[in-house]
Amino acid sequence: MSLNVSEPYRPRIGLTTYYQEAAWGVWTADAALLPGTYVEAVVAAGGTPVLLPPVGTDPSVVELLDGLIIAGGTDVGPEQYGAAPHALTHAQPSRDSHDLSLTRAALAAGVPLFAICRGAQILNVALGGSLIQHVPDVLPESRYQPAPGVFGNVDFTTAPGSISQALLGPRANAPCYHHQALDRVAEGLRVTAAATDGTIEAVETTSGGWVLGVQFHPEQNPGDLRLFTGFIHAARTYRLTRTEGTVHVEQHV
């Protein structure tokens, strides 16, 4: 692959999607879909979006990508972390297996990974962590999901030396919409942002590489693309490093 040095390379960013009934024109049928805010944020930050529906999952697709976004959506099934289902937990097993498989493949390959809301929960579960299935059970005054289809807002602090702090500073706020959250943090992850009530707002790997899971929804704030810009920069660097390595090998064959 040759890169045009006259303009920045637009890294290929995989985004996981829903697969469920939707309507368009005169049609109503199953469809692969994703809120446009994710796609728009990737494009605005300098990437090329590649949608990955939870049908015919092939983890090796990460080899074609420069970065992977595990998008928000439905609850993660509690069977994935050995818990009994809560009455308010609603999961999509096919999407769980899809997202978990791609997450583990990206981690193994060192592909930059940006896990958003449900994605952060998937990241934690993929590495052996667990979830709070209904936040109001432990934080009755929480407003992380104010009303159906209404985003809340969360203030949080970030940890020194983290991706979160490097991109957002020591304090930040963001739109949020969730009723589940990280509980037991998996080995290999560290908390890098938290709300004042203790809710985990960001996790990163302890082994290096660009891996960031956030409980909030940065794609819902198009005026603040700092996390997406940082992710796209990491994806571009990953591609350039991999390409340079390939060229180096070919020159010595």
Tens-place pLDDT, residues 105-159: 999 999 999 999 999 999 999 999 999 999 999 999 899 999 999 999 999 999 9
Tens-place pLDDT, residues 60-113: 999 999 999 999 999 999 999 999 999 999 999 999 999 999 999 999 999 999
Annotated catalytic residue within 98, 117, 201, 204: 117
| Concatenated DSSP letters of 97-148 | HHHHHHHHHHHHHT--EEEETHHHHHHHHHTT--EES-GGGT-TT--SS-BT
Residue found by looking up tokens 């997202």 in the block: 99
Annotated catalytic residue within 201, 204, 219, 233: 219
Mean pLDDT of 20-45: 97
Q: How far apart are CA 50 and CA 19, in angstroms?
A: 15
pLDDT recorded at residue 243? 75
Active site residue 176: no
pLDDT recorded at residue 7? 75
Active site residue 117: yes
Contacts of 207 (CB under 8 A, 6+ apart): 188
Burial 76-114, CB ≥16 within 10 A → b, else e: bbbebbeeeebeebebbeebbebbbbbbbbbbebbbbbb
Tens-place pLDDT, residues 32-44: 999 999 999 999 9
Query: Could you tell me which CATH class the domain 12-251 is placed in?
Result: alpha beta
Taken in order 230, 232, 237, 242, is the CA torsion positive or negative? positive
- Checking if the pLDDT of 253 tops 80, the result is no
Annotated catalytic residue within 98, 178, 217, 233: 217
**Mapping DSSP to helix (H, G, I), strand (E, B) and coil, where does residue 31 land?**
strand
pLDDT recorded at residue 245? 57
Tens-place pLDDT, residues 183-234: 999 999 999 999 999 999 999 999 989 999 999 999 999 999 999 999 999 9
- Checking if the pLDDT of 251 tops 50, the result is no
pLDDT recorded at residue 252? 39
Single-letter amino acid, residue 37: T
pLDDT recorded at residue 53? 98
Q: How far apart are CA 53 and CA 6, in angstroms?
A: 33
Q: Could you report how far apart the first and last alpha carbons of the chain are, in Å?
A: 17
What does pTM read for this prediction? 0.93
